Amino acid sequence: VKKMKISIAIANEAPAAYPAIYKKDLFETVRKIIEFGYDGIEWHLRRPCISETVKMEKLCNSLGMAVNAIGTGMACLYDGFTLMHDDPEVRQKAVERLKEFVDMAATLGSTVIIGSMKGKIPPGGDRDTYVRYCIDSLKAVLDYAGGKAVPVVMEVLNRYETNFLNTVEQMDEFVTKAGYTLLKVHIDTFHMNIEEADMYESIIKSGNTLGHVHFADSNRYHPGAGHIDFKSVMRALKEINYQGWIGVECMVRDNADTDSRKAVEFIRSIESELYC
């Protein structure tokens, strides 16, 4: 029996090192990956485009696929927009871009991911000041998202990508304090493998604040290509009764189609062991 909803991160355009197996031919990719056994896609893009959103909505509806989440990191990578940027104009641009992503998500029934767009505290910067910037910008986004009932998740990133909220526990506390029911914690096994002492325990503790999950192995290739214990990760997800999506977000090892097939087959095989 199929229980977990599994999607794969795909991008319109992305730097070579970006962890999306498919980085072009968006619409053809959607048709292809449904054959592999995916239930949806995670669409990573720099800026929403209404005509493409509508085209995707039609395609996914006709195929019975979902666009479960919108990845926004490209707006940080290409445009430098972050919620805790020094410059208030850039923070404002980050908020405006995220509102555009919220509109897109409202059309597609997706969750908006805030990962790199959160930003980082600059060297020597006063922590409280930057945390305040982050919270103030975030509130503007969340009030807007709340009006459209769009869920937002904040991704826990490892220390080499940001210096703010690197562990699941820290993110849990941040999200709980923020107090928005639509805001949840987003974990990624690649980042967890660097920061968490025990991935199983971290997931169990996060409980119902967990809103989204990315799967990549220790080497950031497809699940099954490295040494992460996905069986214990999936056992933890089962124990907290996680109802959300697993998004495969990784880099290409052999070739895109082989890797994306292997990823979904690997996850389904653990699932059938755990749920039978």
> Does residue 209 bind ligand LER (CB under 6 A)?
no
Annotation marks residue 52 as catalytic: no
| 222 binding Mn ion? (CB under 5 A) | no
Number of residues that bind ligand LER (CB under 6 A): 10
Query: With CB under 5 A, what is the number of residues at the site for Mn ion?
Result: 3
Cβ neighbour number for residue 275 with a 10 Å cutoff: 12
Among 39, 103, 172, 188, binds ligand LER (CB under 6 A): 188
Does the annotation count 155 as an active-site position?
Answer: yes
Instruction: Determine how many CB atoms are found less than 10 A away from the CB of residue 270.
Output: 18
Whose Cβ is closer to ligand LER: residue 55's or residue 157's?
157
| Residue number with CB closer to ligand LER (99 or 214) | 214
Q: Does 188 bind Mn ion (CB under 5 A)?
A: yes
| Contact between 111 and 48 (Cβ < 8 Å) | no
Q: State yes or no: residue 249 binds ligand LER (CB under 6 A).
A: yes
Query: Between residues 136 and 161, which has the closer beta carbon with respect to ligand LER?
Result: 161
Nearer to ligand LER, 11 or 136 (CB): 11
How far is residue 108 CA from its own chain's centroid? Answer: 16
The distance of closest approach from Cβ of residue 58 to Mn ion in the complex, given in angstroms and rounded to an integer, is: 28
Interface with ligand LER, residue 244, by CB under 6 A: no
Burial class (CB in 10 A: 0-12, 13-18, 19+), 173: middle
Q: Are strands 245-248 and 5-11 parallel, antiparallel or unpaired?
A: parallel
Length of the chain as a residue count: 276
Q: Does 116 bind ligand LER (CB under 6 A)?
A: yes
Catalytic residue of the set 155, 265, 271, 273: 155
Phi/psi for 3 (5° steps) reads -120, -50
The residue sitting closest to ligand LER, measured at its beta carbon, is 115
One-letter amino acid for residue 185 of the chain = V
Burial-class residue 123 by CB neighbours within 10 Å (0-12, 13-18, 19+): exposed
- In whole angstroms, the minimum distance from the beta carbon of 249 to ligand LER comes to 5
Q: Single out the catalytic residue among 96, 161, 195, 249.
A: 249
Give the integer Cα–Cα distance in Å for 189 and 42.
Answer: 16
Tokens representing residue 137 in the block: 């910008």
H helices, E strands: number in the chain: 10, 8
Question: Is there binding between residue 222 and ligand LER (CB under 6 A)?
Answer: no
Among 184, 212, 214, 262, binds Mn ion (CB under 5 A): 214
> What six digits make up the tokens of 66?
């979902």
Which positions from 50 through 109 interact with ligand LER, judged by CB under 6 A?
71, 73
Residue 233's contacts (CB-CB under 8 Å, 6 or more residues apart) are 189, 199, 200, 203, 215
Task: CB nearer to Mn ion: give 48 or 115.
Answer: 115
Per CB under 5 A, residues contacting Mn ion are 188, 214, 249
Q: Which residues are catalytic?
A: 155, 249
Per CB under 6 A, residues contacting ligand LER are 71, 73, 115-116, 155, 157, 161, 188, 214, 249
